[in-house]
Structure 1
Amino acid sequence: MAFNFASRRTLIAATAAAALAAGATFALAQSNQSKKASDVMASEKQAFSVETVAEGLERPWGLAFLPDGRMLVTEKAGRMRIVSPDGRLSPPITGLPKVDTRGQGGLLDVAVAPDFPQTRAVYFTFAEAGEGGVNGTALGRGKLAANGARLEDVEVIWRQAPKYASIRHFGSRIVFAPDGMMFVTTGERSDRQFRDKAQALDETLGKVVRLTRDGSPAAGNPFADNKGAKPEIWSYGHRNIQGAAMNPADGALWITEHGPRGGDELNKAEAGKNYGWPVVTYGKEYSGEDIGPTEKAGMEPPVHYWVPSIGTSGLVFYTGDAYPAWSGSAFVGGLAIPTLARLELDGEKVTHEERLLSDLGERIRDVRQGPDGLLYLLTDSEEGRLMRLKPEKAPS
C-alpha cells in the first residue's frame, strides 16, 4: 500500500596557566554545555545534534567507509578524497578516469569491496563520455594504494549501453549483496525520445543490473535466457535510481527513484519485475501534463511514494544502537525538498514518515550508517559538508 504525503557540528582546545586551569576548565565546560543544549534537535523519538565532520567539498555525491574508519567521498567534478574520522581531507586521489561532468553527470557513487583488506578494491560509478556528445553510466574498479594517494589498475568493468546524448539521469548507486554479487542502478536518461527504453530489455536504461565483482552478468539473473535481453538486468521500468540499500529485515534490495513532477518512489527491487516507468507513475510532466495512470496490471506499485517530490537520494536501513528508537527505520535524503525522511516500516508497508533536518535547508545527497553506529550525511552544494548525527538527551 502506498502512502501519499503531500505536505511534511568546535570542540575548543584551550591551554591555560596552571593557576587559571580550574577556572578556565569551568568556563569552557559551561560554554560547551550551553552550546550543546542550543544545538540539540528534537524529533518524535530521538534527540540529536548535527556535527560537521568535513566541509569544503564540491558537490559531494557518494560516501563509503574503509575498514579503519576513514571514509571515501566522491565529488561530482571527478575527485575522490579520503576523509579521516576527525575531518581531515586528503588531496584528490589520482588514477581516476576522465568523467563527463555536464549536467547531472560526474563522479557518482563509491563502494568499498567487502574483501578490501585482501584486495584493496574500490568500485565507483561515473558519467562516461563517448564520441559525438553521447554519454552513459559506467562502473569502474581500482586498487587503493597503501598510502591512499592513488587508485591503481583502474578499469571500466561495466557500461550502460547504448550511450545517448543527454546530460541527465545517470543514477547511480552500487550495493554489494550478501551472496557476493553487486547491484548497480541506472537512470533512463530523461529525454522523452528515449525514456521508453526503461521498458526495453535490450538496453540498460532505467534498470537495476546484477553483476559479479568483475562486471560480468551474475548467474541466475531473470532474463539471462531471453533472446535479445541484456543478461545483467535484474529489474526494469525505473526512472532515475539514486538510493539503494539491502534491507536486513528481508535480505532484499530496496531502492528510491526520482519521479518527474511528483511521484518519487520507494521500491523493493525484485528479480524480473517491471516498476512501470514511464507507463505508470504518480507524477506528471514538468509542464503539468499527465503521463499515464498510476497503476497497470503486470507493473509493480511503489511501496511508498511522494507527492510533491522530495528528490530522493541516498537510502539506508538503520541497524545500529546509537539511536534505539530509530532501529529498523529507513532514511532517505531529499534534494528537491531539503530534508532527511525517516520511514517506519511494517514489512513492505510504510506506516509513518517523519521529516528531519528541514530547518537546515541543505540538500541531502547521501546517507550512510558508519561503523560507529552513527548516521553520516553528504550535503549537495558547491560548499558541501559531510555531517553526522550524534544522539543527545532531549532538552528538559
Structure 2
Amino acid sequence: MEQAMEMMASADEVLFPNYGKRDLAFVRGEGAYVYDRDDRRFLDFTAGIAVCNLGHAHPGLASVIAEQAKTLLHTSNLFLIEGQVALANKLVRLVSAGTPYRAMFVNSGTEANEGALKLARRYQFVSGQPQKTRVIGLPNGFHGRTMGALSVTANAKYREGMAPLVPGLETATSYEAVIDAIDDTVAACIVEVIQGEAGVRPVDREFLQRLAARLRETGGLLIVDEVQTGVGRTGTFFGFEQFGIEPDIVTMAKGLGNGIPTGAILAKAEIASAFTPGMHGSTFGGNPFAMAVANYVVDTVSNPAFLAHVRRMGAQVRRILAETYEDVTGLGLMWGFDVPDAQAWRQAAVDRGLLVTVCGPKRIRVVPPLVIDDSHVALFEDVISSIERMS
C-alpha cells in the first residue's frame, strides 16, 4: 500500500492533471478480474471503457501477441501488410453481405472518426458537389477529442476554451433539428446508435431510419460511429445491425484491439475510392502487431455462438438492473442506469470489489468483458444487493 501511495504522489508531480485524481492502480488481470499491488481482486465491469472484450490476459490472444512480437511489429504502410488484407476481408463481409466496402486501418476511435470526416468531404468534392462540406452530429453525441471529432461532439464541457472549432462541423440541438438541417450543403451526418458517453442511450430506431432516408434524398452520407458499440458489444457484431440502417461509412476501434491501439474506417467502395494515394495516411495504423491481434479478436467475436453468449449475459445483467434501478437502457453488454449519487455509488462498488464508470451525476455505465459468465453476473448481483442494503 505504501508503494502505491508513493507512486500516486509522484504521478501528481510528473503527469498532466487532465484525468484528475486516480486512486486505483492495477498490476495484472485475468479474465473479468484485475488485481492491484496488494493482490486485491476487482470484478472489472469497465473493460478499459468497453475495450477488453475478451477480458484480461486471454490465453489465445496472449499467444498471438507473443508469437507476433517474435516476428515483426512494424514496417509502415509503405509496404503491403498481410494482416490488413486478412482483416479487411473479414470486416467488409461482416459490415454487409452484398454491398462492397473497403477498409483502412488507424490507431484509435478518434482517428477513425477524423478520417471519416475527411473522407465524407473529399467524396463530395470528387463527386462534383464541392458545396457539400457540412457534417452534423447528434445532440449528446461523442466522437473524440481531436479538433474535427470534437466539433461534432455535443458536450460543451469538452469544448470549453477550445474555440474556434472546425468550420462546417456542427451539432444540432434536437433530433428534429438534425433532419431540418440536412440540405444541399450537408456532406454527412455522424451518429452513434447507442450514445455511450451520454449514459448508454439508444437512439430511436425510427429516427435513424428517417435520418438515413433524408440523407439519401440529398446525397449526404451516413457515418455510423461504432467505436464503442462495435465488435460484439451489443450482441451483434455491429450495433447498427439492430437499427435497420445501412451506413455509408463505419468507424471502429476500442474492442477491435482488446487493448492494443487499433482502429478502422470501413466505407462503401465508391466512397473509399475518394482517398487517392497521398490523401490520407497513418504511420502506425494497421501495423503487423495490431493486425495479428485484431484478426484474432474478430475471428473470436464474430462466431455466432459467441454473440449468442453476449446476448444471454446481457439479458441477465439487464434483468438484475431493472429489478432495482430506474431508466435502465442499453443492448447486449452495454448498460446505463440511474442512481441517487453516481460518484458515491461507484465508490461503494469499489469498496465491494466492483469497477464501473460514471457517465453523469446520477448515471452509471457497465460495459463488462464479453467473456463474463454466470459466476461473474452472480457476483455483480451480490454487490448490487449489498449496496442497496446499506442505502
Bigger relative contact order, structure 1 or 2 (CA pairs below 8 A, ≥6 apart):
2
The structure carrying a bigger helix percent of its residues is 2
The structure carrying a bigger strand percent of its residues is 1
